[in-house]
Structure formats: C-alpha cells, structure tokens
Amino acid sequence: MDKKIIAGNWKMNGNMDAVALMADALKNIDLSHVTIVLCLPMPFVGASAILSVETGVQDCSAHESGAYTGEVSARMISEIGAKYVIIGHSERRQYHNETNLVIAEKAKQALKSGLIPIICVGETMEEKQAGETNTVIEKQIRECVPGKGAIIAYEPRWAIGAGMTPSNEEIKREHGFIAEILESMGLGGTPILYGASVKGGNAAEIMSIPNVDGVLVGGASLKAEDFLPIIQAV
C-alpha cells in the first residue's frame, strides 16, 4: 500500500456552507501520497463538483431498485459522482438493526455499481471484556465481505466518539488478525483502515502501525482545523 487512505465520516452533521469551507481548505492539498474521501450526508454529495477530493456516502440500499420508499440505491449514488460508501457502520448496526446478512447485500450492491464499500467491523465493550473480540470480527468479515474491491474499517465500537483508542499493541494485533482472515479468503491486499477517536495528535502514530492502511475519522473530519492535521500526519 503506497497511498494512505484518509476517510471522513460526517455522520448527520454539517451543512452546505461547511462543505464549501472544507472544499476551500482541501483545495491545495498534495494528493500524491494520500487518498482523501469525504463521506458526506447524502444530499451534500451533489457538491462533489466543488471538492478536489473523493466523495462518498454513509449507507446504500441492499436492493437494486423498486418499491423501497426512502431507500437510495448504490447505482444512484454512483450516478451523482460518489465513489465510496460506508457500509455496516456500528451506528447502522445499533440504531437500524443491520445484520451481517444485510450488510453483505449492501456491499454486493455497492461493488456491482462500481462503488468502493468501506465495510465496518468491530467489537462492543461487552464483547471485548468477554474476550470475544476476534470471534466477533472474524464472523463480521466472513459474513459481510463479498469479494475483492472493498476496504475494511476496524472500528472498536467502544472507542467511537469516546475520545479513547485501543493501545497501539491492540491495533497492531487486530489489524494483523484481520489481514490474516482476508488472506485466507483470497482477499489479501484489501486495505484496512483504523477508525474511532482518530485526531491530529494520534494519527501519525496509528498510521505507522503495520497493516494500518489509513484511518476513518468521525468527529475530527468536520472542521478543517481538526481534519488537516490528520492529513498532514501522512
């Protein structure tokens, strides 16, 4: 992996003014060593024309088309110029009861439509304390990743938005474990991002850990003053 990937997940935050401000802040960034992806709320993706970086969204339908009121298909997302889609984020698993099965269907639709799915996996605090981290992650990867072309984001659910991260040793161990599983599925080389409480102060250290091909950033991707130091960390 030569280019690190820095993906921002705006969740349900921001407005068109914030997109314009970010576009301005990112316009002179040297993209030769880094791929920057802004995963915006769906209605803002039309603004991708003003952004010099890649854009993505945070979900897509598990269906191709049809009578699914309120859903947006992967093909529609691709048509408006987005290239990436976050799939199976822990907030989707938690608040929308998304199962591994549904997540796999969404990832298949994304790949079929030429989008790059960023498939999220990670354990809860209860699972971590019960020593089930690897079991949970392995099941999520085997059941959610349909094939080549995806990106994996390891996001320990207990660390998201919490201001704390696993130790570097833990990140190293889990990323190594994920790389082994992907290898055993014939998917070696699939990029693996770390996500949860990444900020300017810890990004360089996290990205220097083996098998960490980039980061997925939530809160710190909303404002240029927080996001730029993470990009500079590459």
Residues near ligand PGA, by CB under 6 A: 9, 155, 160-161, 195-198, 216-220
* CB closer to ligand PGA, 151 vs 216: 216
* CB closer to ligand PGA, 179 vs 198: 198
How far is it, in rounded angstroms, from Cα 194 to Cα 76? Answer: 28
Question: At its nearest, how many Å lie between ligand PGA and the CB of residue 218?
Answer: 2
Q: With H, G, I as helix, E, B as strand and everything else as coil, classify residue 200.
A: helix
Question: At its nearest, how many Å lie between ligand PGA and the CB of residue 184?
Answer: 26
How far is it, in rounded angstroms, from Cα 56 to Cα 150? Answer: 13
Catalytic residue status for 175: no
Q: Is the dihedral of CA 172, 231, 85, 217 positive or negative?
A: positive
Find the catalytic residue in 89, 98, 105, 123: 89
Instruction: Determine the angle formed by the axes of helices 168-184 and 133-144, rounding to 10 degrees.
Output: 40
How far is it, in rounded angstroms, from Cα 25 to Cα 73? Answer: 30
Question: At its nearest, how many Å lie between ligand PGA and the CB of residue 146?
Answer: 21
Find the catalytic residue in 123, 155, 174, 175: 155
Nearest to 4 by CA among 199, 223, 233, 213: 213
Residue, CB closest to ligand PGA: 218
* CB closer to ligand PGA, 121 vs 160: 160
Residue 86 sits at the vertex; the CA angle it makes with 179 and 141, to the nearest 5 degrees, is 30
Question: At its nearest, how many Å lie between ligand PGA and the CB of residue 9?
Answer: 4
Catalytic residue status for 155: yes
* CB closer to ligand PGA, 64 vs 226: 226
Cα separations in angstroms, 26 against 172, 225, 233: 30, 11, 15
Catalytic site positions: 89, 155
